[in-house]
Structure 1
């Protein structure tokens, strides 16, 4: 009898506890908060948050824009001397994984749940773009296991080769899911629900990745170019189809504009000014602003010490042009010029049929027209011997011009400079990496060593020392 009473007592207590728990859950419900994730809200937030990271302080202004010498610093110059803040490296990793991979993985799942393959396709495309950025920056990164984070709290790192090949497959799947006639989506602040443009973005990303791996995996790259390399209808060949987020008024302003509201420590790099001047380039007055106290565009040498940079004067050196610093300036993820440069190089190396010089001319033209340069000035620019395509040194022709066409897009500019080795940049004046050395990647954040140490050590053993100067797999010497 005592045992029966004990069991009945436990059962009663369980009922009471369950009832109390249910009451607490009911009491703590927020009547103003949705209990299920809405795909349109998730898509809007996912695009905005991750483009902010891509175009923002940590991934661009304090790292890649300086490394590829688009910008320089005139105050607080350590990052320009290759001494990045640990917080910047951590923020890029955290934001892309927590806000990017996580959000778009959820959107992919919602696409299945809601039987809307277009949401799934957009989720795959955006997540693939984020993974491409991550592996470009760090090298080997957690990839396959990150979509099942509940199961893999400490995900394994995948080799960079495997990440790129996986992304090519995922993007092809996304293109196959897209329907332009039904299953509309909402919350799309990149392309306003125009699924044909999403298809162009996905295919253009496939060509970007294929070219990036072509030095190491030529056959795999050629298979992609054979399939879609000449498909004008499904690639970004016109600036009207550029993948770009056009910002709005505060608090949704461009991150560069937001930065300028309370800081004044960035300037145009002397490397850019010198190149634009040498080429009589009409983009000089577009990319560079006139200083307040002078009537001449003056760039700043990368890697000056803070005292030396400060003596140049805040108002005697050039900031970046207004087309990049305006509140509503677009953040560009992929432009038409890049696509034409991809085709030009592909034709040159045998990945694609066509005349490399003609495709190169279209690439330079697309870049100039992106900034509304007149037809007359475009023709005059292209006629210069210093601009005419040189097949004997195609990497210099394409590398120099692609570097200029990607100006402002620090992450993609940094990746392509490493791959092509042009333009020939002089390391930071007082760089902290040693004579003649420049960054070739970001180091892993310290949190990975502390929280995912076993897999971190495997990645370092596979890839090489966790240093800024370690060359990544795609970056052939």
Structure 2
């Protein structure tokens, strides 16, 4: 009996110890700068700013996805442009979006549930859906259904991309139902200034984006999603004035691209996109790139992607084009989703037979919207659209849309990377001195901490999806 009592006490001690460890881990994961009684307005502002900085910043944009899609190139320290990475190079998005963005949005939803303010809950769901899509498009399988609840799931399971995207479409449909212009308003909204109609349009624009993302895998779901949007009647983003974007203010709230160029000169515009813009007489060339500091006959000179550091250095800083001042301005916007993207999406949806309409007209409107976004004159827009190389080809809609969308998404590295993999256009030439056997990366690497801290779930994801390499093709990337 004495041994049984001793054993029971020991078991109770272990249970208490495990509970204490869990409490300690939750305490460690608390943000020390977070208010003890958080306010939804404060959390909303913080989440939008934190997420946009990471999305538009160095790790997820400048030093990776913008290089993969050959919008930008490296002029020095060229390893990333040659696809030389470790799993420690891709931790910023994963850690920021899970530990800060999603966790704060979950709190907003909880606070909104208690206060009865459905608009906060709807806005949080829209942002959460966008952030989860960034994660799954970059890495593949991710924690989704168990994410953001450390009290219940210390080691959350990974969900397949199919599960994630089905869930995101449901979340956005729920958000659309929650958002109500006649209900209590919201504060802290640095995207739309509390305009709930614009949030409803943004939610539907994301639904369109996600429907097309799964179109090659789940065409029936994609089509029914767009039919639901039409039936609901809230509509999409209606103009460039309604683009989902964070417009940066003065220091310390500067655009992260501007901050990067103040510190160093690692980046130049890629030769690939400069050559394409020049071939099309595209007036966006003067916006996307600066003329060379040393006068050259070409005026705009891009850097081939994936040069060795010595070869890139030999081209010279002054004889190659930096990204345009528009993108290096401290107040330049971090674009999340544009009117042009919506119109390209509608053109593709018509081309696939998902909706009715004029695919050519939507395509031309999309190009117009992209050019107008940079204040290009109507005269130049008309001239540009008349070129044979710009004309819409309904028999090769993926090529027409893919190439023009790639140009329009300049600066939005993660979205351009996803669309290039999905549409397979433009057809890019891999890095000159790349290390992937003449191939371009198809995903980000899972952070090394996942293998050590969430090994079981990580291993299950790898077993389903494939090895944790840059060349493992993701579920939505069919061809």
TM-score after normalising by structure 1? 0.91
Paired residues for 1:332-371 under 5 Å: 332-371=335-374
Q: Distance in 2 between matches of 1:281 and 1:59?
A: 27
Residue of 383, 386, 390 corresponding to 1:387? 390
3-state DSSP of counterpart to 1:333: strand
C-alpha separation in 2, matches of 1:267 and 1:230: 46
Rounded Cα–Cα distance in structure 1 between residues aligned with 2:46 and 2:318: 37
How many residues matched? 445
**Contact 1:207–1:229 (8 Å) recurs in 2:** no
Partner of 2:434: 431
- Alignment correspondent of 1:257: 258
Structure 2 Cα separation of the partners of residues 251 and 41 of structure 1 = 17
1:127 CA displacement? 0.8
Structure 1 position 234, deviation (Å)? 2.3
Do the aligned residues in 2 keep the contact of 1:229 with 1:352 (CA within 8 Å)? no
Alpha carbons of 1:101 and 1:377: their partners in 2 closer, same or farther (altered >3 Å)? same
Q: Deviations over 1:252-286 (max 9, x none)?
A: 00000011111101000001101101111010101
CA contact (8 A) 1:81 1:431 kept: yes
**How large is the Cα RMSD of the aligned pairs?**
1.4
What corresponds to 2:381 in structure 1? 378
Per the TM alignment, residue 84 of structure 1 is displaced from its structure 2 partner at its CA by: 2.6
Which residue is equivalent to 2:452? 450
Aligned to 1:440: 442
Partner of 1:288: 289
Match of 1:324 among 324, 327, 348: 327
| CA distance, structure 1, for counterparts of residue 77 and residue 455 of structure 2 | 32
Aligned-partner Cα distance in 2 for 1:384–1:231: 38
**2:64 is paired with a residue of what secondary structure?**
helix
Alpha-carbon shift at residue 325 of structure 1 (Å): 0.8
Are the structure 2 counterparts of residues 119 and 449 from structure 1 closer, same or farther at C-alpha, using a change threshold of 3 Å? same
Unaligned segments of structure 1, at least 5 residues: 1-31
SS at match of 2:388: coil
**Do the aligned residues in 1 keep the contact of 2:137 with 2:418 (CA within 8 Å)?**
yes
Aligned partner of residue 103 in structure 1, secondary structure:
helix
**Aligned positions of 1:416-427 closer than 5 A:** 416-427=419-430
Is the Cα contact below 8 Å between 1:164 and 1:209 reproduced in 2?
Answer: yes
Contact kept? 1:196, 1:234, Cα under 8 Å: no
Stretches of 4+ aligned residues off by more than 4 angstroms: 229-233
Query: Would the alpha carbon gap of residues 64 and 177 (structure 1) be closer, same or farther in structure 2, given more than 3 Å must change?
Result: same
- Corresponding residue number in structure 1 for 2:402: 399
Mapped contact 1:63–1:84 kept (Cα < 8 A): no
**Segment of structure 1 superposing worse, 224-233 or 304-313:** 224-233
SS in 2 for 1:389: coil
Question: Partners of 1:447 and 1:335 in 2: how far apart?
Answer: 34
What is the rounded CA distance, in whole Å, between the counterparts of 2:364 and 2:221 in structure 1? 27
Q: What's the secondary structure of 1:332's corresponding residue?
A: strand
Q: 1:6 maps to which residue?
A: none
How far apart are the structure 2 equivalents of 1:201 and 1:195?
Answer: 10
In 2, Cα distance between equivalents of 1:202 and 1:187: 18
Q: 1:235 to 1:458 in 2, by over 3 A?
A: same
Counterparts of 2:326 and 2:346, CA distance in 1: 27
Paired with 1:74 and 1:117, the residues of 2 have a C-alpha distance of 49
3-state SS of paired residue (1:245): strand
Contact 2:73 / 2:268 at 8 angstroms: preserved in 1? yes
* Alpha-carbon shift at residue 361 of structure 1 (Å): 0.7
Tell me how far apart the structure 1 counterparts of residues 138 and 34 of structure 2 sit (CA, whole Å): 37
Alignment of 1:303-318 (within 5 A): 303-318=306-321
**Cα deviation, residue 354, structure 1:** 1.0
